[in-house]
Amino acid sequence: MSRPSGNVRLKAARVAAGFNSQQDLADALTRHAEDMGLRGLSIGVRQVRRWESDTPPWPQPDCQRMLVHLLGQSMEALGFTPPWAPDGVQHAEPTRRAVVAGGAAAFGVASLPPRAAAAPQPSTAGTDFQAVTRSHRRLYWSVAPPQLHPAVIAHARLGCALLPDTSDSTRRTVAAALGETYLLAGRIEFFDLREPSAANATLLLALQAAGEADDSLLGSAILAHMAFIPGWLADRDGALERMTAARTYARRAAASAEFLAWLDAVEAECETRCGNTRTALHLIGHAEDVLAAGNGHSSPEWMDWFSPGRLGAFKGNTQMIAGHLPQARESLLRALTSMTPAEDKQRTVVYGDLAAVEAASANPEGACEYAGKALDQLAVTWYATGMERVREVRRALAPYQHERCVRDLDDRLYDWATTLSALSR
């Protein structure tokens, strides 16, 4: 049997990241360069073809940066030989330790110094590491993001240190918990701290760890979260590319009806932000049907960010943006009544959307009342996405800015505590 030809490491990393063709990778690299401020950098399919050849040339520094950031592995792990390698000999096959620790270091998130091999970790290391991951997951709903985020990142560094010294089921347990930890860090960076570039890099590390654990469902969840990043920038092609990968990974696992409905909801939000509300409402309708039918599979314990009430919140937001104000009001009020105390962060978003509905209905008093409720909740559980909704409402209330209720809202929105809190994030 003939051996595969060409740079099989780069090709494998490309396919694993969801880029099925060389053209897909070239397009993604070009878009990623723009996201990182390298607007003059354009990667063509011919260049990718050369990188996947038997003798791939050493890429230019900016291209190296794009490859490492997008694929989450070091240049050597991607099959490239540095010019300074002795006699041009390809480096030895990188171990998974180099992929995980080296990939983390490439993003500046979990950089680990070289160290000598340690004694193998006991089987309890996996369950102990996983227990802290679960605790962080629960703390997310009550602890302020700036306080929780450093602890989550430190826990991820510990996971990167533990992983090389584990094997078999313990290794899979640590890798899966590490993937979940990086996913939580990425969620905080994107939804709470509003740092999409950092979130994208962190979520790539999460995907890499999920691959180590061979956990397709976790990989699907990570890819769907990554779709939010281009989706919120109205980059429909970028969002759909990641959603296609997320659905592909979900098909490999026994995904619950709830998980599949959430994928529809994510894609619907991306479509809404790209101006395609009709498509988004169709997706939400499909999600409702999927939830109603069920499929007998249970959701993973780490999926604590979705419920029928939150689907209603997605629906109400899309209806509001589409101009279906009575329907949006009904959906949002129903979502509000179905939410539990553990969903207080999402409650701020629903209050903000109800305020937007009232503002669009020429009811400034009602808009200010709901905006005030959102601020009350934000004082307890800060959520940047919720504050963003309130500020959008205030902009919509510009025609009523001399009304007493709007002035009262301004007094709350721009008091010392709220102003300093918002500007410091």
The answer on pLDDT for 35 being more than 80 is no
In a domain, 404, yes or no: yes
Pairwise CA distance, residues 159 & 372, whole Å: 42
DSSP code, position 188? I
Pairwise CA distance, residues 245 & 235, whole Å: 16
Per-residue pLDDT at 172 = 94
* Average pLDDT estimate for 221-235: 95
In a domain, 264, yes or no: no
Ordered alpha helix ranges (H), 5-82: 8-16, 22-35, 45-51, 61-71
pLDDT per residue as tens digits for the range 254-289: 899 999 999 999 999 999 999 999 999 999 999 999
pLDDT band at residue 227 under the 50/70/90 scheme: very high
In a domain, 419, yes or no: yes
Structural tokens at position 163: 């992983």
In a domain, 140, yes or no: no
The total number of structural domains in the chain stands at 2
Pairwise CA distance, residues 188 & 196, whole Å: 10
Of 59, 81, 103, which marks where a domain is finished? Answer: 81
In a domain, 145, yes or no: no
In a domain, 408, yes or no: yes
Of 60, 81, 102, which marks where a domain is finished? Answer: 81
Chain-centroid distance, C-alpha 142: 20
The answer on pLDDT for 77 being more than 90 is no
The answer on pLDDT for 322 being more than 50 is yes
Pairwise CA distance, residues 417 & 404, whole Å: 22
The answer on pLDDT for 61 being more than 90 is no
The answer on pLDDT for 18 being more than 60 is yes
Backbone Cα Rg of the chain: 23
Pairwise CA distance, residues 241 & 24, whole Å: 9
